[in-house]
Amino acid sequence: MRMLVTGGAGFIGSHIVDRLLMEKHDVAVADNLSSGTRGNVPFGVEFYEVDLTSPGLTEAITEFKPDVVFHEAAQINVRKSIENPTTDAKTNIIGSINLLEACRKNNVKKIIYASSGGAVYGEPQKLPVPEDHPIKPLSQYGASKHAVEHYLEIYRQNYDLNYTILRYSNVYGPRQNPNGEAGVIAIFAKAFLNGSQPVIFGDGNQTRDFIYAADVAQANLLAAQKKTPEKTFNVGSGTEISINKITDLISKATDAKTKPKYGPEVPGEVRHTYLDISRAKKELGWQPKKKIEDGIKETVEWIKNGD
Ligand SMILES: NC(=O)c1ccc[n+]([C@@H]2O[C@H](COP(=O)([O-])OP(=O)(O)OC[C@H]3O[C@@H](n4cnc5c(N)ncnc54)[C@H](O)[C@@H]3O)[C@@H](O)[C@H]2O)c1
């Protein structure tokens, strides 16, 4: 089939591209290279250097004529979304509407949308967090990611454009930018490898749900293949792990000579969170495969080889 990945030059998108190539699909990437790199796009993949909000995106979809679009391109920085909400909304909402318009005009069969389990639910009212948990985003990023979920449903009702929403937990793995604001595993691994001290905000007993990028790519592939009664799926490990424990594993994998420092708690940060993944297991037949220890080792190897 013909598959187009927006944001395919970035971290998660490039893992989806790899997985699609393994299945011998015809693959294209649409990306403006704002955080992704051309080097992440393998040989044999059609590359369109276009912005989500531009007419170039429509031209790319019109020329490539994908059957399925995996929508990963986004402004992903929570802090930037708070400082500059209009820029966040332009990329994440207007850019996504531009994509949906291009898809309906070109008879795309299905869109798989990367939403965020960490950002759309807000403070968990129950653990693990199920898909029908109240939606109470705490940031403009969470609001913009969720807004697109509504547009997808509208395009399904009005134009029969099929879709699946995947709400990821904290994704980690090779090719995650260790110089970004998020991605604690990549950031801490780089700090330990450089002999500096990573900073844990708070006491480190806060817990998160980490999922390996290749497992996320597999969930995308299954979502593209399967027709399911439900349209929204959490994609996470389904388990919680403390930041102290994660730091310990990274310290071991990097053979660290330094210890982490502790800084002030981040105000408004959620204390404990992890996702209920039973729906994805049941309906998509998906389940995370990578053990966290192994995933961390592979991430460290990638950073060692010069990110
Ligand atoms: N990384 C996580 O833990 C996580 C968790 C939940 C959801 N998500 C979602 O997964 C998706 C991928 O995230 P990622 O971590 O791979 O980020 P990333 O920054 O590595 O990848 C995003 C890609 O989109 C491209 N891009 C950004 N703005 C664009 C624009 N206006 N036009 C065209 N291309 C543009 C970038 O160049 C980059 O290649 C995003 O939609 C993000 O919201 C990520």
One domain, residues 187 and 231: no
Answer yes or no: is pLDDT of 226 > 90. yes
Answer yes or no: is pLDDT of 182 > 90. no
Q: Which of 47, 76, 129 to mutate to test the pocket of ligand 1 (most atoms within 8 A of CB)?
A: 76
Structure tokens of 41?
């796009």
Q: Give the atom of ligand 1 at the shortest distance from the alpha carbon of 145.
A: 43
Domains contained in the chain, number: 2
Phi, psi for 109 (deg, rounded to 5): -80, -35
Residue 270 is part of a domain; what is its CATH number?
A: 3.90.25.10
DSSP designation for 129: B
Confidence of residue 181 (pLDDT cuts 50, 70, 90): confident
Do 259 and 153 form a contact (C-beta atoms < 8 A)? no
One domain, residues 100 and 222: yes
Q: Name the nearest CA neighbour of 296 among 238, 239, 252.
A: 252
One domain, residues 135 and 263: no
Q: What is the pLDDT of residue 268?
A: 76
Instruction: Tell me the CA–centroid distance for residue 73 and ligand 1, in Å.
Output: 4
Confidence of residue 266 (pLDDT cuts 50, 70, 90): confident
Q: Domain containing 79: what range?
A: 2-171+211-235
Q: What is the pLDDT of residue 267?
A: 77
Average pLDDT in the 236-247 region?
Answer: 98
Q: What is the pLDDT of residue 247?
A: 98
Cβ(72) – ligand 1 distance below 6 Å? yes
What pTM did the predictor assign? Answer: 0.98
One domain, residues 120 and 258: no
One domain, residues 186 and 279: yes
Cβ(52) – ligand 1 distance below 6 Å? yes
Residue 76 is part of a domain; what is its CATH number?
A: 3.40.50.720
Do 236 and 174 form a contact (C-beta atoms < 8 A)? no
Q: Give the atom of ligand 1 at the shortest distance from the alpha carbon of 95.
A: 31
**Rg value, the chain, Cα:** 19
One domain, residues 146 and 156: yes
CB-neighbour burial class of residue 174 (10 A; exposed 0-12, middle 13-18, buried 19+): buried
Instruction: Tell me the CA–centroid distance for residue 36 and ligand 1, in Å.
Output: 8
pLDDT in tens, 10-60: 999 999 999 999 999 999 999 999 999 999 999 999 999 999 999 999 999
One domain, residues 21 and 97: yes
Instruction: Tell me the CA–centroid distance for residue 262 and ligand 1, in Å.
Output: 29
Q: In whole angstroms, what is the distance from residue 266 CA to residue 263 CA?
A: 9
One domain, residues 218 and 139: yes
Confidence of residue 307 (pLDDT cuts 50, 70, 90): low
One domain, residues 181 and 247: yes
One domain, residues 106 and 196: no
